[in-house]
Amino acid sequence: MKAEIKLALTMGLLGGVVVFLFGGWSVTVLGILIGVFMGLSIGGRVNKKDGPRKLALQSLSTAGIAAVVFIAVSLFQNYVVAPAGGQFPSELYIVIPANLIGGLGMILFTALTAALHGLPDRQERLGKLILMVVLVIAFPFIDRITGLHWSGQIIFALIFVILGLGLNIVVGFAGLLDFGYAAFFAIGAYTTGILSSPQHHIFMNFWLVIWIALGMAALWGLILGTPTLRLRGDYLAIVTLGCGEMMPIIFRNLTNVTIKEPLTCWIIPGIMRLFNSSAATKCITIIDNLDLTAGEKGINPIGRPYLPFIGEFQSNNPIPWYFLIILLILLSVFLIRRLRDGRLGRAWMACREDQDAAVQMGIDPVHTKLTAFALGAAFSGFAGAFYAAYIRGIFPSVFEFSTSIIVLCIVVLGGMGNINGVILGGIIIMGADRLFLPALKDLLKGLMDHTILPALASNHTLQAVVAQNANPILYRYLLFGLTLVIMMALRPEGIIPSAQIRAELHADEETSAVEKAVKN
Amino acid sequence: MLELIEVHTYYGNIHALKGVSMTVAEGEIVTVIGSNGAGKSTMLRTIHGILRPKKGTILLEGEALEKLPSHKIVERGISQSPEGRMIFPRMTVQENLEMGAYTRKDKAGIAQDFEWVFKLFPRLKERINQKGGTLSGGEQQMLAIGRAMMAHPRIMLLDEPSMGLSPILVGQIFETIVELNKQGTTILLVEQNARMALSIAHRGYVLQTGEIILHDTSAKLKEDPMVQKSYLGAN
Ligand SMILES: Nc1ncnc2c1ncn2[C@@H]1O[C@H](COP(=O)(O)OP(=O)(O)OP(=O)(O)O)[C@@H](O)[C@H]1O
Ligand SMILES: [Mg+2]
The reply to whether residue B102 touches residue A364, judged by beta carbons under 8 angstroms, is no
Contact between B75 and B154 under an 8 Å Cβ cutoff? The reply is no
pLDDT > 70 in chain B, percent = 99
| Helix locations, A395-491, DSSP H | 401-414, 419-431, 437-447, 453-455, 460-469, 476-490
Contact between B78 and B155 under an 8 Å Cβ cutoff? The reply is yes
Query: Which residues have C-beta atoms less than 6 Å from ligand 1?
Result: B 11, 14, 16, 34, 36-42, 83, 192
Distance CA A339, CA A403 (A): 26
What radius of gyration do chain A's Cα atoms show?
27
Contact between A424 and A414 under an 8 Å Cβ cutoff? The reply is yes
Distance CA A78, CA A18 (A): 13
Q: Which H/E stretch holds residue B1?
A: none
What radius of gyration do chain B's Cα atoms show?
17
Contact between A116 and A44 under an 8 Å Cβ cutoff? The reply is no
Amino acid, res. A358: A
Amino acid, res. A45: R
| Smallest-distance ligand from the CA of B37 | 1
Instruction: Give the dihedral of Cα atoms B18, B22, B24, B28; nearest 10 deg.
Output: -100
Q: Which of A69-78, A325-334, B55-64, B119-128 has the lowest mean pLDDT?
A: A69-78
Q: Which of A82-96, B31-45, B161-175 has the lowest mean pLDDT?
A: A82-96
Tell me how far CA of residue B41 lies from CA of A508, B80, B145, B156, B188, in angstroms: 29, 11, 16, 14, 12
Average pLDDT, rounded, for chain B: 91
In chain B, where the domains are located: 1-77+186-235
- Tally of residues, chain A: 520
| Smallest-distance ligand from the CA of B39 | 1
The percent helix, strand, coil of chain B (3-state, each to 5) is 40, 25, 35
Q: What is the pLDDT of residue B84?
A: 86
Residues of chain A with pLDDT under 70: 1, 43-46, 278-281, 496-520
Contact between A193 and A394 under an 8 Å Cβ cutoff? The reply is yes
Tell me how far CA of residue A337 lies from CA of A89, A166, A169, A221, B45, in angstroms: 48, 12, 10, 20, 35
Please provide the distance, in angstroms rounded to a whole number, between the alpha carbons at the two ends of chain A. 35
What ligand 1 atom has the least distance to the C-alpha of B45? 18
Q: What is the pTM of this model?
A: 0.86
> Cβ atoms within 10 A of the Cβ of A53, count?
11
- pLDDT, one tens digit per residue, over A393-438 is 898 888 888 899 999 999 988 888 889 889 989 998 998 888 888 8
Establish if A512 touches chain B: CB-CB under 8 angstroms: no
Q: Which architecture, in CATH terms, is B1-77+186-235?
A: 3-Layer(aba) Sandwich (3.40)
> Which of A363, A45, A66 shows the shortest CA–CA distance to B101?
A363
Which residue of A354, A361, A498, A506 is the best one to mutate when testing the B interface, meaning the one whose CB has the most B CBs within 10 A? A361
Distance CA A265, CA A371 (A): 38
ipTM score assigned to the predicted complex? 0.89
